[in-house]
Structure 1
């Protein structure tokens, strides 16, 4: 039968977004733009999730994520859409180092997540034995990667453990705070996974990737920050949601979900909110709890997702006190776990972000990060202890002996979902189970990547599918209503 039509002159359908991190806010922004009525429910007293600004010595700084990948368009486009386009800034310097083998060594160029196309770029980082082991790659037989493989395991088999331990591990650790020998290559470094699937030499595979990238001739900065901090993005998105008619409620934890004849009832500590659709933009453990009754299969899969915790130690020094140290205009350095130090990275914010330097010409602001997957014990230390171990490692790496004039310690407990081998298959199972529910979708760092652009893309996917389910669009739009629903679209909203 042909679909009949009617004029959508009733009130817009109501979507509740549970979770006020950047994914939830991006989903709300998208839904408001589709003409839907939107309510965001956030359990805590603040929006933004892992994006947060604060102050140290009176200087506004990021206390969470500090940059976003600009080669993906989603996050930069969102920032522009909410009025932050003129505040986007690339790093003032991207000259990073590795603190390894008792010295700060320049970060090699020409690699894909630490895997080189040309081994000669690793001469300062690896030992002679490590370089000799890389040369064996072209003599080794092909290794099948199957449906997935751990990044560290595969690269170690092809190029030796030293490449993994001194390059791949610190680079991946900076993104996931995870273990390279557990992290899925297919999920975390998909381009490298495709090169591995082509078989043969991994070095040659990386060279092919680099040639393809050069042919695309991508220009512009790889990363972007925002003047005043990436942590200003959630507030700007929230303002845009409100301006579009959306409602945002903080300090409103969701206690349960229940299907109704016409949609959903969402139970909060202040009452029940009724909705036609739901976007669930919360960590895996929260989603598992909320879906336990309505989707036991999805709940069980979500409950199996593991997280890493970390702490950021932000410090301000008198600029005169850091002269003569090995900072040298660098943006910071990474630390391989194999070297046995406590900090895993240091970012020299004053060098990296011009707006930080301009805000405090007499200060030098930096931050260290502590904590990896399976290393929770550091996070139980007192703030003063975390500052102390950071200063000891900084002294050993750079020669810094000064004491900071101000410090700020920020703990991100369960901050980063882990992507072990098989993660994408788990995500597919979650989405298959969730798709059996009417007008409910999930989004966030658990599913499509932990970076800000990936979270925004995940949010847009969820919002677009919900809008499709509910006939999103401005009130008064002519919409088609199928009188025979079978076969009109898949449950996943494709």
Structure 2
């Protein structure tokens, strides 16, 4: 592996009172070793300042939802498998870590949406399912539904936040929500379109609603920008050769080389103010250890963050306590030999209107050429199960989830779908925060914290990997700047 690039390590930022260059070493604790916490630690270690960083991770591994596991003798992703390449944060981090040469993109095969029992090609030029051209979804939607879509009803500006589904229902008809928007949003949030905040999930649609502009107009503008704007022709998604789950391993190695202390199995149980600093309590309840730090970045999900903040930032703690999460599972299947003909695309999405349990399937070895090249003797695909408040779907054994996934795959693909030679089930309990209507306003107290304390993670401003990287780095800068 190449040495980490020095990019970003020579740009000292003003550190606020007591943080001047040459002052005593300042200590910062990062609570949580997921991608947000690791990104915060990387940002903290990237400054020419006397900062000592300690990452406290409660489990025995780093990376959060980035994870590699052995499936049929090969280590592959069983969590997040790609990043949005049209945001800069992940690609910038890859560059700084010296792994930009490992960046790779999906192959040309397209995805599909299941509608009325069959697969339809994923329409091009949509904005989170809202079509730029109504004709592009004819067939997937009925003629009557396309007619309703084409005659958007704009009743005037919409004040405040509203759910994505309710907005699309009122403007374009319920069929657009059910068969286009729902499967796309479910893929991101494992939630329900009629409960997810438009302001948070699709701000361009929310802005159109506030201004009384047509959603179709916004979708057309987005499609035109994608076709001829600065990002035209560039891939939408990216990953690393070897899997996105290698990113935490690279970060851990580089952070250790930079002098960052990483302590796994160190569950943070308490946080309290101590003069101008903080005391973090870690360890089992019978052997709690108190440590003092000058600043703290809290990079854990909303519920544990709420518990830590209960005494030091009660308003923020109360706001975080109300954030709900969706649980899900990823069922990975390994087939013998190269990809069979039945896997004739990159995968498919499933609207909740269909009588299927899985909500999506990715034909990983078709979607990612690097994976097929690395393991020509195996074909990998996966199915995701679970939506917000549908935990009963997951109350099955691993073997039962594999059977359900196979049954649904054969329903969609036909009997030509072969049986697997190896399987793996990865459960992500409370894996994805739900951005309910009013989420941004409700979490306003989390942006008004005591000095030298910052929050980051998927609960705030985006659930994707680039958004989490941005969140972690922003939190690090906030405590460095003394905000």
Q: TM-score, normalised by structure 1?
A: 0.90
SS in 2 for 1:230: coil
Q: Gapped runs of 5+ residues in structure 1? A: 470-492
**What's the CA shift for 1:426?**
1.8
- State the alpha-carbon separation in 1 of the partners of residues 34 and 125 from structure 2: 34
Matched, 1:410 2:426: yes
Q: Which residue of 1 aligns with 2:171?
A: 158
- State the alpha-carbon separation in 2 of the partners of residues 197 and 215 from structure 1: 27
**What's the CA shift for 1:128?**
1.5
SS in 2 for 1:288: helix
**What's the CA shift for 1:204?**
2.3
The alpha-carbon distance between structure 1 residues 134 and 8, as it changes in their structure 2 partners (threshold 3 A), is closer
Asked whether the equivalents of residues 315 and 407 of structure 1 are also in contact (C-alpha less than 8 Å), the reply is yes
Asked whether the equivalents of residues 433 and 463 of structure 2 are also in contact (C-alpha less than 8 Å), the reply is yes
Asked whether the equivalents of residues 343 and 371 of structure 1 are also in contact (C-alpha less than 8 Å), the reply is yes
Matched, 1:452 2:468: no
How does 1:61-460 map onto structure 2 within 5 Å?
61-137=76-152, 140-214=153-227, 216-219=229-232, 220-269=234-283, 270-319=288-337, 323-325=340-342, 327-328=343-344, 330-399=345-414, 400-432=416-448, 434=449, 437-460=450-473
1:29-53 per-position Cα deviation (integer Å, ceiling 9, x unaligned): 0001123210000000000001101
1:131-167 per-position Cα deviation (integer Å, ceiling 9, x unaligned): 1211221xx3433221211000010111111111001
Matched, 1:49 2:64: yes
Segment drifting more, 140-149 vs 110-119: 140-149
**What's the CA shift for 1:323?**
3.3
**What's the CA shift for 1:215?**
5.2
1:237-265 per-position Cα deviation (integer Å, ceiling 9, x unaligned): 12221111110000000110111113011
Asked whether the equivalents of residues 83 and 236 of structure 1 are also in contact (C-alpha less than 8 Å), the reply is no
Asked whether the equivalents of residues 98 and 333 of structure 1 are also in contact (C-alpha less than 8 Å), the reply is yes
SS in 1 for 2:280: strand
**What's the CA shift for 1:187?**
0.2
Asked whether the equivalents of residues 157 and 211 of structure 2 are also in contact (C-alpha less than 8 Å), the reply is no
**What's the CA shift for 1:213?**
4.5
SS in 1 for 2:400: helix
Asked whether the equivalents of residues 158 and 211 of structure 2 are also in contact (C-alpha less than 8 Å), the reply is no
- State the alpha-carbon separation in 2 of the partners of residues 24 and 218 from structure 1: 29
Give the number of equivalent residue pairs: 460
- State the alpha-carbon separation in 2 of the partners of residues 446 and 5 from structure 1: 31
The alpha-carbon distance between structure 1 residues 108 and 5, as it changes in their structure 2 partners (threshold 3 A), is closer
1:214-249 per-position Cα deviation (integer Å, ceiling 9, x unaligned): 453314211101111111111211222111111000
The alpha-carbon distance between structure 1 residues 65 and 306, as it changes in their structure 2 partners (threshold 3 A), is same
**What's the CA shift for 1:7?**
6.9
Asked whether the equivalents of residues 208 and 214 of structure 2 are also in contact (C-alpha less than 8 Å), the reply is no
Segment drifting more, 260-269 vs 16-25: 260-269
The alpha-carbon distance between structure 1 residues 441 and 402, as it changes in their structure 2 partners (threshold 3 A), is same
Q: Gapped runs of 5+ residues in structure 2? A: 1-15
Asked whether the equivalents of residues 142 and 201 of structure 1 are also in contact (C-alpha less than 8 Å), the reply is no
Asked whether the equivalents of residues 191 and 209 of structure 1 are also in contact (C-alpha less than 8 Å), the reply is no
Higher normalized contact order (CA 8 Å, seq sep 6+, divided by chain length): 1
1:322-346 per-position Cα deviation (integer Å, ceiling 9, x unaligned): 6342x22x11100001112100000
Q: TM-score, normalised by structure 2?
A: 0.92
The alpha-carbon distance between structure 1 residues 4 and 377, as it changes in their structure 2 partners (threshold 3 A), is closer
1:80-135 per-position Cα deviation (integer Å, ceiling 9, x unaligned): 21121111101123510112211111000011011012100001310112112112
- State the alpha-carbon separation in 2 of the partners of residues 360 and 299 from structure 1: 47
The alpha-carbon distance between structure 1 residues 94 and 422, as it changes in their structure 2 partners (threshold 3 A), is farther
Asked whether the equivalents of residues 195 and 206 of structure 1 are also in contact (C-alpha less than 8 Å), the reply is no
- State the alpha-carbon separation in 1 of the partners of residues 157 and 388 from structure 2: 28
Asked whether the equivalents of residues 448 and 454 of structure 1 are also in contact (C-alpha less than 8 Å), the reply is yes
